[in-house]
């Protein structure tokens, strides 16, 4: 199953070029950041999904511009959008979560995230996101973290998950210098060797100020013990405890 992540700058650039990039990558699951949220936002996202040859659950109100598209090769058993609390007058933030996988497989918990420009807010939001996805099965968390590996939000994700996407810089698109767009996965999830896809440079530059990332993962077939597997925590308990403390207003030292 291929999972991709792409920040699309609110469709302020060339949406058609972005759709061509997505069709070339051909993901089963596409985690998006910075999609339109306000006037005609739902219609514009739906039209983009159709142009990509993908499908959208809709109802992304409160998501901070994050959402998830899927192909017909997978089934979506649950799709949710969550709002994150931000300081007054700041850009709204949120994240999208879906349980998704090919028919007959154990579904994965996939989250699309776009963290704040404020470091303290990023760490607090990372803790809340981890608290939501913990204990639901194997996890893939993808998105724009707005910080590198030295950041505290990045480190919080890395304490329970592992970086599985390429470490090639993704921002800014014309001359990438920073790795902001990444995919993290549960320790037990099998990630296949990365397969490059030829993408027209002109489309990459026209579509967004970020470059996309993607990973291929091996999904397990469903079996009688799947319920036991899915209820076991895939994020270590210590990370969940830290997340609970953070969500309550006190970050651990």
Range 195-199 average pLDDT: 96
Is 252 a domain residue? Answer: no
In a domain, 241, yes or no: yes
Domain span including residue 8: 2-247
Q: Does residue 79 form part of some domain?
A: yes
Give CA–CA dist 68/111, Å, rounded: 8
pLDDT at 219 over 70: yes
Distance CA 5, CA 3 (A): 7
Closest CA to 160 of 215, 195, 109, 118: 109
Q: Give me the pLDDT at residue 126, please.
A: 97
- Whether the pLDDT of residue 240 is over 70: the answer is no
In the three-class reduction of DSSP (H, G, I as helix; E, B as strand; rest coil), residue 207 is classed as helix
Domain at 79, CATH number: 3.60.10.10
- CB distance 170 to 180 below 8 Å: yes
Residue 247 has pLDDT above 90, yes or no: no
Measuring CA to CA, how many Å separate 168 from each of 47, 70, 109? 30, 25, 25
pLDDT tier, 25 (very low <50, low <70, confident <90, very high otherwise): very high
pLDDT at 59: 78
pLDDT band at 226 (very low <50, low <70, confident <90, very high): very low
Identify the H or E element spanning 144. Answer: strand 139-144
DSSP 134: T
pLDDT at residue 191 in the model: 97
What CA–CA distance (Å, rounded) separates 23 from 249?
42
Q: Does 100 fall in a domain?
A: yes
Task: Report the alpha-carbon distance of residue 55 to residue 48 in Å, rounded.
Answer: 9
Note whether residue 198 is domain-resident: yes
Does a structural domain hold residue 253? no
Averaged pLDDT of the chain: 89
Q: Looking at the 3D structure of the chain, how many domains does it have? A: 1
Question: What tens digit of pLDDT does each residue of 124-151 get?
Answer: 999 999 999 988 789 999 999 999 999 9
Please check whether residue 104 lies inside any domain of the structure.
yes
What pLDDT shows up at residue 229?
40
Does residue 147 fall inside a structural domain? yes
Q: What is the pLDDT of residues 39-90, one digit of tens each?
A: 788 999 999 999 999 999 877 877 889 999 999 999 999 999 999 998 877 7
């Amino acid at each position: 199953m291929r999972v991709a992540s792409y920040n699309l700058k609110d469709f302020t650039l060339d949406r058609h070029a972005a759709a061509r990039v997505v069709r070339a990558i051909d993901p089963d699951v596409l985690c998006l950041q910075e999609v339109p949220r306000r006037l005609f936002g739902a219609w514009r996202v739906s039209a983009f999904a159709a142009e990509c040859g993908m499908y959208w659950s809709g109802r992304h109100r409160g998501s901070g511009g994050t959402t998830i598209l899927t192909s017909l090769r997978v089934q979506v058993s649950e799709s949710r959008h969550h709002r994150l609390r931000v300081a007054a007058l700041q850009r709204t933030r949120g994240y999208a979560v879906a349980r998704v996988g090919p028919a007959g497989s154990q579904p994965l918990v996939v989250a699309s995230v776009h963290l704040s420009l404020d470091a303290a807010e990023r760490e607090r939001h990372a803790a809340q996101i981890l608290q939501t996805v913990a204990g639901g099965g194997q996890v893939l968390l993808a998105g724009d973290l707005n910080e590198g590996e030295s950041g505290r939000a990045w480190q919080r994700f890395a304490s329970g998950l592992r970086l599985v996407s390429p470490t090639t810089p993704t921002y800014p698109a014309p001359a990438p210098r920073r790795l902001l767009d990444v995919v993290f996965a549960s320790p037990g999830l099998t990630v296949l060797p990365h397969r490059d896809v030829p993408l027209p440079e002109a489309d990459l530059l026209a579509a967004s100020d970020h470059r996309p990332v993607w990973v291929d993962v091996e999904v397990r077939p469903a079996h009688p013990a799947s319920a036991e597997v899915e209820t076991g925590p895939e994020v270590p308990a210590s990370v969940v405890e830290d997340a609970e403390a953070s969500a309550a207003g006190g970050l651990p030292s």
